[in-house]
């Protein structure tokens, strides 16, 4: 091979191997960089090669390097595909169970789902898979516990309805429940306030008002508004003391009757911590998921040396102020 032919072949080899190096599939950044460096070193040797035999040896090295890298990419991609398939299976099972789980479990799954979308490395996927397995186990336990509770309640209702003398009592009890949240409604709340006033104990009434509920109902529908009320009700029920009583008030309100003997500033700090936790509800908007933040305003008033009329006026004034704030937004 004369000098011109050698330079032409060297140039052609450089173009081909540089193209392979630039457009190689990336499965691991470190391995890709090593592969590209190896090919460019082979090209440099080719440019210095003086005979056909040396060129053939270098061509064989290039082919071997390409085949080795190709096998590595295939193994890596196969591993990632298996991990993704495993995660998809786990996530599908999770979503089948999530309707029976709590809002907290749903939030954990949404967090993991976002991490899956951002992950690019196999090791990241393995870690997320482990987290998802743990979350699924918790959700399944919650679902089983919820199913047991539902069976117990259903059994009690069947027993009660089977007795004619209990049907009237059951109907009366259901009449004092809020149909959205399952909490005692405002009629039961008013009875609890009256009882607290006559007991002359250190009792407070807290009224919570879910913010922007009318706007949410108008934009996303009442079903979304109902889900927000259920989520906020669950949040309060999990954070108040077992001796406290929680009720569903009118409109966007929830009312708690609490017995506290400490200074009022400490009680206010307790309530502020209760409503400061971040809450979100996922809704579908224009074919994509949107997280609606859930927040609430609140007021606290003591029933000591008060009357039902005075307490009602304070509650109504607060509710009217909240409604007015929404109207002026």
Are 193 and 49 members of one domain? no
Are 23 and 153 members of one domain? yes
Residue with tokens 């809704």: 283
Chain centroid to CA 293? 12
Q: What pTM was estimated for this model as a whole? A: 0.51
Are 228 and 163 members of one domain? no
Q: Residue 99: what pLDDT? A: 47
Which CATH number characterizes residue 276's domain? 3.30.70.270
Contacts of 237 (CB under 8 A, 6+ apart): 183, 246
On average, the pLDDT of the chain sits at: 79
3-state secondary structure 77-112: HHHHHHHHHHHHHHHHHHHHHHCCCCHHHHHHHHHH
Are 13 and 68 members of one domain? yes
Q: Residue 195: what pLDDT? A: 94
Q: Residue 157: what pLDDT? A: 65
Are 165 and 235 members of one domain? no
Which of the listed residues 122, 150, 175 is the one where a domain comes to its end? 175
Number of domains in the chain: 2
Which of the listed residues 175, 190, 218 is the one where a domain comes to its end? 175
Are 142 and 201 members of one domain? no
Are 201 and 146 members of one domain? no
Are 201 and 231 members of one domain? yes
Can you list the residues of the chain whose pLDDT is less than 70? 1-10, 14, 50, 80-126, 128-129, 132, 135-136, 139-140, 142-144, 146, 150, 153-154, 156-158, 160-175, 286, 325-329
Are 184 and 139 members of one domain? no
Are 27 and 159 members of one domain? yes
Q: Which domain holds residue 307?
A: 180-327
Q: Residue 18: what pLDDT? A: 76
Q: Residue 322: what pLDDT? A: 87
Are 319 and 184 members of one domain? yes
Length of the chain in terms of residues written? 329
3-state secondary structure 130-144: HHHHHHHHHHHHHHH
What would the two tokens of residue 224 be? 């979304």
Are 43 and 167 members of one domain? yes
Closest CA to 87 of 79, 107, 100, 283: 79
In DSSP notation, 19-64 reads HHHHHPPPS-HHHHHHHHHHHHHHHHHHHH--SHHHHHHHHHHHHH
Q: Residue 100: what pLDDT? A: 46
Which of the listed residues 119, 153, 175 is the one where a domain comes to its end? 175
């Amino acid at each position: 091979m004369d000098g011109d032919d050698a330079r032409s072949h060297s140039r052609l080899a450089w173009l081909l191997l540089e193209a392979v190096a630039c457009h190689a599939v990336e499965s691991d950044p470190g391995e890709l960089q090593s592969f590209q460096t190896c090919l460019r070193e082979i090209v440099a040797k080719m440019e210095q090669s003086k005979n056909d035999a040396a060129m053939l040896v270098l061509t064989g090295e290039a082919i071997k390097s390409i085949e080795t890298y190709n096998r590595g990419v295939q193994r890596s991609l196969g591993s990632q595909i298996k991990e993704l398939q495993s995660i998809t299976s786990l996530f599908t099972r999770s979503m089948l169970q999530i309707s029976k789980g709590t809002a907290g479990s749903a939030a954990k799954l949404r967090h993991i789902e976002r991490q899956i979308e951002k992950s690019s490395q196999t090791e990241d996927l393995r870690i997320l898979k482990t987290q998802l397995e743990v979350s699924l186990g918790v959700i399944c336990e919650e679902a089983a516990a919820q199913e047991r509770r539902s069976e117990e309640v259903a059994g009690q209702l069947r027993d009660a309805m089977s007795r004619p003398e209990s049907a009237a009592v059951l109907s009366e009890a259901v009449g004092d429940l809020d149909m959205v949240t399952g909490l005692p409604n405002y009629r039961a709340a008013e009875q609890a306030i009256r009882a607290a006033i006559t007991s002359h104990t250190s009792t407070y009434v807290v009224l919570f008002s879910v913010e922007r509920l009318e706007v949410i109902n108008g934009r996303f529908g009442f079903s979304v508004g109902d889900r927000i009320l259920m989520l906020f009700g669950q949040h309060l029920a999990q954070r108040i003391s077992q001796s406290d009583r929680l009720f569903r008030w009118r409109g966007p309100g929830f009312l708690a009757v609490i017995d506290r003997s400490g200074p009022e500033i400490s009680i206010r700090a307790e309530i502020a911590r209760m409503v400061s936790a971040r809450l979100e509800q996922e809704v579908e908007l224009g074919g994509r998921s949107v997280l609606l933040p859930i927040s609430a305003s609140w007021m606290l008033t003591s029933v000591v040396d008060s009357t039902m009329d005075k307490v009602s006026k304070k509650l109504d004034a607060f509710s009217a102020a909240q409604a007015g704030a929404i109207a002026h937004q």
